[in-house]
Amino acid sequence: MSIKQAKSSSVSTQKQRVAVVFPGQGSQTVSMLSDMLPVYSEVEQTFRQASERLGFDLWDICQDESRLSMTQYTQPALLTASMAIWRILENHTQIEPMLLAGHSLGEYSALCAAGTLSLEDAVMLVYQRGQFMQSAVEGIETKMAAVLGLEDNQVSVVCEQVMSANDDAIVSAANFNSPGQVVVAGNVVGVDALIEQVQGMGKKVVPLKVSVPSHCVLMKPAGAALAESLKEVEFNFPKIPVIQNYGAKVYKTSQEIKAALIEQVSEPVQWRQTMEALAQKHVNMLVECGAGNVLSNLSKRQQTPITSYPTDKLARLEKLMEVLS
């Protein structure tokens, strides 16, 4: 083998080290996947299948900003969009990911892509999950915010200080997204106090427009309700390993996978740790399968950046297909 051939072979081998990641809440946009609808039948088929299970028109909801922003609709809409794109990739490319992962809600998309959950079970679970999350904080003023420029442990210390100083304050880290970006969640009293303290340290905090404070102690009732729903659902052995948010680990048995989903509701999303796990597995190509490009942008900020390809637009999807071919 010549040096040129050896280099070509090496590159070819590297290109096969692919991971697919699935976005979570906040990635949705009105009319998402509309440019793919006339080109790929998988879009209409997937949304029809999900709508039949839910009993309402999910595609119609995606055209209505007010309904799409409601947690119980956002979650099945995003999962269905992700699965439509996943089916396009499965049917029209030779994609063979080593690993899958999803950010928060996206974990259900990853489990669905792995064959652990059927589409029908997955959309119903996340629809219920959204309802449980909304009900858990009914009558409570809540808030989420992104803290920029502090290390993970620094944010956790500030949260503890805020709650120690005020018995009414609830605030904790909700998403460890990337080095220097941690999302916090809690009640308004707690998050506002944290914002004031972080700004006093000379760092930036960006309030987030969300309807529920995901991944904090306020979601404990939602986790308990979800546990009951999960008892009724059959989980299959994953065909592709899925790194789950809770513990940033791959779980194999249905009991372990379900337990991690329950914990995930009220525990922080360990996305930075998930990306580190992918880097340790020498993944060098990331496919963001779903709406938006939030995870692709986060990939650039990780300790070991991985080249990422979003798929939220037809042009981006077709660019990825060229790379995969």
Q: What is the spatial distance between Cα 88 and Cα 82, in angstroms, rounded to a whole number?
A: 10
pTM (two decimals): 0.93
Nearest residue to 148 (alpha-carbon basis) of 217, 207, 209: 207
pLDDT in tens, 23-81: 999 999 999 999 999 999 999 999 999 999 999 999 999 999 999 999 999 999 999 99
How many Å apart are CA 20 and CA 123, to the nearest integer? 19
Q: Which residue has the tokens 């979601």?
A: 219
- Please write the tens of the pLDDT for every residue from 193-224: 999 999 999 999 999 988 899 999 999 999 99
For all residues of the chain together, what is the average pLDDT? 94
In this predicted structure, the answer to whether residue 299 has a pLDDT above a threshold of 70 is yes
Question: For the segment 272-283, what is each residue's pLDDT rounded down to a tens digit?
Answer: 999 999 999 999
Question: Which one-letter DSSP state was computed for residue 103?
Answer: S
Residues facing residue 138 across a β-bridge? none
All residues at 6 or more sequence positions from 100 whose CB lies less than 8 Å from its CB, including other chains:
19, 20, 21, 22, 110, 113, 114, 240, 241, 242, 243
What domains lie within the chain, and their CATH numbers? Answer: 14-136+217-324 (3.40.366.10), 142-208 (3.30.70.250)
Instruction: List, by residue number, the catalytic residues.
Output: 104, 215
